[in-house]
Every structure is written in structure tokens, then in C-alpha cells.
Structure 1
Amino acid sequence: MDPFDRLIKAMDEWVGKQDASIEILAQIGTGSYRPKNLEFVPFLKPDQYRDAFERADFVVSHAGTGSIITALERDKPMVIMPKLASLGEQRNEHQLATANRFKPSTLIQVAYDVDELNAILDRVALSDERKVFQPQIWPPDQSLISFVRDFIRPVPG
């Protein structure tokens, strides 16, 4: 929901440098950056989001737990870039912590900055072989399972 202009701008600039046509749909939320090289919408309705997610070869996203869990549940390759409080994109560095937690996954590639994002996109999107991603073989450790359960468990009251 919150804007992530740094990611949207990076994706737009990356697409603009490609020789081949690459189909990308960006959900930009309330961001102020308007892409010039890729299709975008402010928001997708839940059914539109599910459809776009299912059709995608892989997903590029902020390091939101909901998006990551959806990708893992559906064995969908994902590239994540955390929003950073140090850049005014979040109130704290929870997305950085989330990215670090999921980095061992073989289905998720983590880009901590635009240069890493570009390098991953070059390896993944421009290759006929998506060898960067492997079938999910990483079992989450018990501390991660507890962390997610505690996060979604309703507060008694």
C-alpha cells in the first residue's frame, strides 16, 4: 500500500535499457513516480492481484511478509528488495529483518539495493534458464515458524 518509488523507478529504468520487450505490471500504490517503460496501476483488486501473481514467471516485490508467504505457498520465484527506514521508506527496519530471514530460501532472491536488483534481473529475466531460482528445498527453522505464528495470532481480548 505504501509507496516504494525507489523500487518502481529502478524497475522502470531497468526495463528501459532492455532490447527485448518484457511484460511487466507494476502496482505502484500511492507513489509519486510514474513509470515510462512499463505498465502500471495504482492498485489491483484482490482477484486482479491473484491473477497477475499466478501468470507471472516471477515476482519482484518489497520485503512484505504477506507477499513472500504467498510466493512460498505457490512455489513462485520472487525477488525482494526491502524498504528501508534509513531512506524514509518505513518507520523501522522490519523489512530488512524479513529479507535477512528469508534469504536462505532457494525460491527468493534478495536485493538490498538497486545495483543488486539490476544484477539479479539481468541473471534471471534475460536468461532462458531460470537457474537462479531452485525448487523450494529450504525448510523454515522453528524460530521462523514461531515468528510468523506470533505475528498473525490474534490478541486475546
Structure 2
Amino acid sequence: MILATVGTQLPFDRLLRALDAWAARNPDQRVRAQSGNSQEVFKNMDCTAFLSPAAYAGAVEEADIIVSHAGMGSILTAAELGKPIVILPRLAAHGEHRTDHQLATAAEMASLANVTVIESAEELGPALDRLSGAPTLPAAERISASADAGLIGAVAHFLRGAA
């Protein structure tokens, strides 16, 4: 199953349209989207505006591939689970965000083994085709859901003024 998540602030129809078109060409693939504030109707995928935290966690766990904006929550969740994620940054020029900070986020996260960054909606289909059947990352290559004990100790030491 492919899961798309577009965040909560503004619609991201550019991504959803591209995914819906890919789903039309790949009817054997189940595609689900947390479509946020979109007012469009998509015919080839199962859309829910906002999933509850429990439903979202279940959908992410079930997903073979995640498609997302460059939101840190989505990226970190995929990295924790070792799931392949395709990231299309939102752009202010398209009215998808107030700034273009997602470009910098995507560029930085592109170094993670499970991350594929695309620059245009037209690249989504080929990226999904390449990732089809891709395995999740081995546990050793995933990020931890919690901070390393050494880091926590160093921050605590610093906060106590002993830096």
C-alpha cells in the first residue's frame, strides 16, 4: 500500500493529483491519502482529510511506500520504521506554503537511505515505479525514536551550566 500525507496547513493538490494519476495507471496498487485541506475529489485513491493518530500510525505501519511533503514528522516516522519515502517539497510559488523552507529540509534529508526527493510532480510516477517492491531498511539503518543516552547526558550537563 502507498500512503500519502500532505500535512495540515494548506492544500497540496499538486502532489495529490500526480499520485491520483499514478494510481489510475496502477489499479493493482492500493493508494491511500491523508489529503488535508484539499477540496478536490480524487477517483483513484482512498482519501481521508485527517486521520486520527491511531489510524495514521496503523496506515504508516501498513504502507510499503510513503509519499509526503517535506514535513519533519513524516520524514522522521518513515526513517524510524525504515520505510521508503518520496518527498515533494511544498512551494510558496504554488500557494502550498508561506515560504520555501521545505526545499532546504528535503535537501538535508536526501542523505537518508530511505529518502527519495523529487523536484516536480512529474517525477512522482517514475519514483514510485523504481521503489515498487523496495524493502524496509534493516533495523541497524533506521533512526531511533528516542535520543541517544550520551546526547541526553551532554544536554543535561550543558543546561546545568557546566558546559
**Structure 2 SS opposite 1:12:** helix
TM-score for both structures, normalised by structure 1? 0.78
In the alignment, structure 1 residue 13 sits paired with structure 2 residue 13: no
Aligned to 1:148: none
Match for 1:4 among 12, 37, 43? 12
Q: Determine the C-alpha separation between the residues in 2 that align with 1:73 and 1:138.
A: 5
Q: Determine the C-alpha separation between the residues in 2 that align with 1:83 and 1:12.
A: 17
Query: Gapped runs of 5+ residues in structure 1?
Result: 140-157
Residues 36 and 49 in structure 2, CA contact (< 8 A), matched pair in contact too: yes
Q: Which has the higher contact order (CA 8 A, sep 6+)?
A: 2
Aligned to 2:122: 115
How many aligned residue pairs are there? 134
Runs of 4+ in structure 1 deviating by more than 3 angstroms, as ranges, are 133-139
TM-score for both structures, normalised by structure 2? 0.75
Aligned to 1:44: 51
- Superposition RMSD in Å: 1.9
* 1:115 to partner: Cα distance: 1.9
Query: Gapped runs of 5+ residues in structure 2?
Result: 1-7, 144-163
Of the two, which has the highest radius of gyration? 2
Q: Percent identity?
A: 41
**Structure 2 SS opposite 1:73:** helix
Residues 1:104 and 1:138: Cα distance change in structure 2 (over 3 Å)? farther
Q: Determine the C-alpha separation between the residues in 1 that align with 2:141 and 2:63.
A: 21
